[in-house]
Amino acid sequence: MIWEIFRQEREGLPFQHGGSLDAPNLAFAEAYARELYGRRDESFALWIVPREAVDEVRDPYVADVFDRDYRRVDGYSLKVKLKEARERAGTAGAG
Protein backbone atom coordinates (compact mmCIF):
# COMPACT_ATOMS: atom_id res chain seq x y z
CA MET A 1 0.00 0.00 0.00
CA ILE A 2 1.37 3.38 -1.02
CA TRP A 3 1.36 6.34 1.38
CA GLU A 4 2.03 9.95 0.48
CA ILE A 5 4.13 11.85 2.99
CA PHE A 6 3.86 15.58 3.49
CA ARG A 7 6.33 17.36 5.69
CA GLN A 8 6.32 20.65 7.51
CA GLU A 9 9.82 21.92 7.77
CA ARG A 10 9.15 24.40 10.57
CA GLU A 11 6.17 25.23 12.71
CA GLY A 12 3.78 27.50 10.81
CA LEU A 13 5.10 26.71 7.33
CA PRO A 14 2.80 24.99 4.81
CA PHE A 15 3.07 21.21 4.46
CA GLN A 16 4.82 20.18 1.26
CA HIS A 17 4.90 16.84 -0.47
CA GLY A 18 8.01 14.98 0.60
CA GLY A 19 7.60 11.71 -1.29
CA SER A 20 5.86 8.38 -1.01
CA LEU A 21 6.55 5.05 0.64
CA ASP A 22 5.29 1.48 0.66
CA ALA A 23 3.94 0.11 3.95
CA PRO A 24 1.31 -2.51 4.83
CA ASN A 25 -0.57 -0.35 7.37
CA LEU A 26 -0.54 3.00 9.17
CA ALA A 27 1.74 1.82 11.99
CA PHE A 28 4.40 0.76 9.49
CA ALA A 29 3.87 3.90 7.41
CA GLU A 30 4.44 6.04 10.51
CA ALA A 31 7.61 4.18 11.47
CA TYR A 32 9.05 4.43 7.97
CA ALA A 33 8.00 8.08 7.59
CA ARG A 34 9.81 8.91 10.84
CA GLU A 35 12.85 7.11 9.52
CA LEU A 36 12.83 8.63 6.02
CA TYR A 37 11.59 12.17 6.79
CA GLY A 38 12.26 12.77 10.46
CA ARG A 39 15.47 11.10 11.48
CA ARG A 40 17.68 14.09 10.78
CA ASP A 41 15.37 16.56 12.48
CA GLU A 42 14.39 17.88 9.04
CA SER A 43 10.65 17.99 9.76
CA PHE A 44 8.53 19.66 12.44
CA ALA A 45 5.50 17.52 11.59
CA LEU A 46 4.39 14.95 9.01
CA TRP A 47 1.11 14.14 7.31
CA ILE A 48 0.76 10.50 6.31
CA VAL A 49 -1.95 10.00 3.70
CA PRO A 50 -3.03 6.81 1.90
CA ARG A 51 -2.60 7.45 -1.81
CA GLU A 52 -6.23 6.35 -2.46
CA ALA A 53 -7.39 9.21 -0.26
CA VAL A 54 -5.81 11.71 -2.62
CA ASP A 55 -8.22 12.82 -5.35
CA GLU A 56 -6.16 13.74 -8.34
CA VAL A 57 -7.73 16.08 -10.89
CA ARG A 58 -6.14 16.03 -14.31
CA ASP A 59 -6.29 19.00 -16.65
CA PRO A 60 -8.06 21.21 -14.12
CA TYR A 61 -8.23 24.22 -16.46
CA VAL A 62 -11.82 25.39 -16.99
CA ALA A 63 -12.03 26.44 -20.62
CA ASP A 64 -12.97 30.10 -21.12
CA VAL A 65 -14.89 30.14 -24.31
CA PHE A 66 -15.79 33.76 -23.70
CA ASP A 67 -13.13 36.41 -23.42
CA ARG A 68 -12.83 36.70 -19.67
CA ASP A 69 -9.11 36.74 -19.31
CA TYR A 70 -9.42 39.37 -16.56
CA ARG A 71 -10.24 36.38 -14.32
CA ARG A 72 -6.90 34.84 -14.89
CA VAL A 73 -4.12 35.32 -12.42
CA ASP A 74 -1.67 36.19 -15.14
CA GLY A 75 -3.76 39.36 -15.65
CA TYR A 76 -4.03 41.70 -18.60
CA SER A 77 -1.57 42.12 -21.33
CA LEU A 78 -1.09 45.80 -20.45
CA LYS A 79 1.51 46.46 -23.05
CA VAL A 80 -0.90 46.24 -25.98
CA LYS A 81 -3.72 47.95 -24.13
CA LEU A 82 -1.47 50.82 -23.08
CA LYS A 83 -0.22 51.27 -26.62
CA GLU A 84 -3.77 51.45 -27.91
CA ALA A 85 -4.75 53.94 -25.20
CA ARG A 86 -1.76 56.15 -25.97
CA GLU A 87 -2.66 56.13 -29.65
CA ARG A 88 -6.21 57.12 -28.87
CA ALA A 89 -5.03 59.89 -26.56
CA GLY A 90 -2.55 61.11 -29.18
CA THR A 91 -5.27 61.24 -31.82
CA ALA A 92 -7.65 63.07 -29.46
CA GLY A 93 -4.91 65.56 -28.51
CA ALA A 94 -4.13 66.32 -32.15
CA GLY A 95 -7.78 66.81 -32.97
Partner 1 sequence: MSAQELLALADDELILGWRNSEWTGIAPFLEEDVAFSSIAQTEIGHARAWYELAAKQLDTDADSLAFDRQPGEYRCAPFVELRFVPDWAQTIARHWLYESADAIRIQALMQSDDSQIAGLSEKIDREEAYHRMHADMWADRLREEARFQQAVDELWPYALGVLEPDQRDRLCEAVSRDPVDAVERSTHTGELAPLWEEMTMVRRSVPGASW
Residues near partner 1 (CB under 8 A) are: 21-25, 27-28, 31-32, 34-36, 39
Q: Is the dihedral of CA 20, 23, 26, 30 positive or negative?
A: negative
The least CB distance from residue 26 to partner 1, in Å, is 10
Between 17 and 86, CB nearer to partner 1: 17
Residues facing residue 19 across a β-bridge? 5
Tell me whether residue 19 or residue 90 sits nearer to partner 1 (CB atom). 19
For the bound state, the minimum distance from the C-beta of residue 50 to partner 1, rounded and expressed in Å, comes to 15
Q: Are 41 and 56 in contact (CB under 8 A)?
A: no
